[in-house]
Amino acid sequence: MTAPQPLAPGEIGTWAAPGRVNLIGEHLDYVGGPVMPIALDLRTTVKVRRRDDGRVRVWSGISDRSVEFGADTTPGDVKGWARYVAGTVWALAQSGHRTGGADLVVSSDVPLGAGLSSSAALECGVAVALAGAEGWEIDPITLALTCQRGENEYVGAPTGSMDQLASLCGEKGHALMIETAPTPPSVRAVPAHWVEDGYALVVVDTQAKHSLATGEYGVRRAQTEELGELLGVDRLASAPPDAVLKVDDPVLKARLRHVITETQRVRSAARALSSRDWAQFGQLMSASHASLRDDYEVSAPELDLTVETAMENGALGARMTGGGFGGSAIALVEADRVEAVGEAVAAAFARVDFTAPRTFVVAPADGATRLS
Ligand code: ADP
Ligand code: MG
């Protein structure tokens, strides 16, 4: 394979990276468990032009001001939305790929803060744009871990690797079966045929953005670390089912029960996906939601109402997706029920004065790619 050609001086290249929804396997990517996301047909586009002065300047459609920083930026330099970009520049430099400078123009149709991972779409879009502009050849899994490092250590969000892996490795028509441990993670694309079989995957962006999200996410991570120490395992997702008997604290016991049962559900869901058993797949989605609501306690009233209403209106299964405390839920429904489910959820939200949700259908799309 020939090495990619860097952009010539003044030349503009365009790359894009998608958001994702996770079908099942929630809060497992930081305990070494399996996850099953798809990349979305919603994406963040990054136009890039090289600079030779060691400076990076970035514009985004969400802000009327550009942000400029050095290619040698370190954590703490850049605040606000541009820290996701600076974090990617920093993490790439840490792995030996320091940009000589770049102008970056970002636009996105991934809703921000909706649990569809606009953050990973931005990081991965910037990463593939810089790699393309400089002619760096970096495999997608390494690049995903680099973007995750930027989000963890520069932005300060303690997320796992799923979002970046989905954004970079997505495949049209396929779900991704990701084993997040051992390192490096492995990603296998599995054909996902629900559309051919007459079903649709509906996303309900509940518009709820809970202030708890980041802090509580960190608390869950800390609790899983405590459990790992208590049980003497470094991958909590591989703890045997009877490990729950060894935990006395009721909160920690419930957290562990989620990790163990969710891991089993992903395994079962992989089989259901392969055998096109959508009723079974749906049941696993709903069981995942109950576990996230009751044992892991990361749901929100808007998510619970969406799931409940979707199920009452004929969904095969429904669950919150992403970190929780707001954001989006997904439901697997018969294709001709999409509108009815959307209307029922909107009506249920109106009855209790929740902000009107946004409902749309998604299908598995390709991961990050060059557009021009
Ligand atoms: P999610 O990843 O679920 O959308 P996060 O809170 O992880 O939510 O990330 C959202 C944040 O990422 C935004 O508040 C903003 O700071 C940044 N971001 C994402 N996309 C863009 C974009 N296109 N332009 C500028 N900032 C963005
Ligand atoms: Mg995010």
Are 21 and 153 within one domain?
yes
Question: Under a CB-based contact definition with an 8 Å cutoff, are residues 55 and 24 in contact?
Answer: no
Cα–Cα–Cα angle for 159, 163, 167, rounded to 5 degrees? 150
Question: Under a CB-based contact definition with an 8 Å cutoff, are residues 48 and 40 in contact?
Answer: no
Q: Is residue 5 part of a domain?
A: no
CA of 113 relative to ligand 1 center, distance in Å: 6
Q: Is residue 126 part of a domain?
A: yes
Q: Which one of 107, 108, 122 would you pick to mutate in the ligand 1 pocket, going by the greatest count of ligand atoms within 8 A of its CB?
A: 122
Tally of domains in the chain: 2
Q: Is the CB of 44 under 6 A from ligand 1?
A: yes
Are 119 and 183 within one domain?
yes
* Spatial distance between the Cα atoms of 302 and 306, rounded to a whole number of angstroms: 6
Q: Is the CB of 81 under 6 A from ligand 1?
A: yes
Q: What is the pTM of this model?
A: 0.97
Are 172 and 234 within one domain?
no
CA of 246 relative to ligand 1 center, distance in Å: 40
Are 224 and 321 within one domain?
yes
pLDDT of residue 176: 98
* Spatial distance between the Cα atoms of 273 and 173, rounded to a whole number of angstroms: 12
Q: Is residue 254 part of a domain?
A: yes
Task: Give the CATH number for residue 269.
Answer: 3.30.70.890
Q: What is the largest CA-CA distance in the chain?
A: 63
Q: Is residue 367 part of a domain?
A: no
Please tell me the residue having the least CA distance from ligand 1 atom 27.
81
**Phi then psi for 356, rounded to 5 degrees?**
-60, 130
Is 294 noted as a catalytic residue in this protein? no
Pick the catalytic residue from 29, 103, 163, 295.
Answer: 163
Angle between helices 213-231 and 250-274 (to 10 degrees): 100
Q: Residue 85 is part of which domain span? A: 12-191
pLDDT of residue 12: 98
Please tell me the residue having the least CA distance from ligand 1 atom 3.
115
Are 143 and 67 within one domain?
yes
- Looking at 170, 191, 212, the residue that finishes a domain is 191
Q: Is the CB of 113 under 6 A from ligand 1?
A: yes
pLDDT of residue 212: 72
Q: Is the CB of 147 under 6 A from ligand 1?
A: no
pLDDT of residue 209: 87
Please tell me the residue having the least CA distance from ligand 1 atom 11.
119
Nearest atom within ligand 1 for CA of residue 213: 6
Are 224 and 146 within one domain?
no
Are 79 and 184 within one domain?
yes
- Looking at 191, 213, 232, the residue that finishes a domain is 191
CA of 253 relative to ligand 1 center, distance in Å: 33
Ligand that comes closest to the CA of residue 18 = 1
Q: Coil, helix or strand for 204?
A: strand
Question: Under a CB-based contact definition with an 8 Å cutoff, are residues 105 and 94 in contact?
Answer: no
- Looking at 140, 162, 191, the residue that finishes a domain is 191
Single-letter code of the amino acid located at 203: V
Residues of the chain with pLDDT under 50: 1
* Spatial distance between the Cα atoms of 296 and 254, rounded to a whole number of angstroms: 7
**Phi then psi for 25, rounded to 5 degrees?**
100, 60
Are 288 and 248 within one domain?
yes
Are 69 and 208 within one domain?
no
Q: Judge if the upstream peptide bond of residue 18 is cis by omega within 30 degrees of 0.
A: no
* Spatial distance between the Cα atoms of 162 and 367, rounded to a whole number of angstroms: 13
Q: Is the CB of 112 under 6 A from ligand 1?
A: yes
Are 157 and 203 within one domain?
no
CA of 347 relative to ligand 2 center, distance in Å: 28
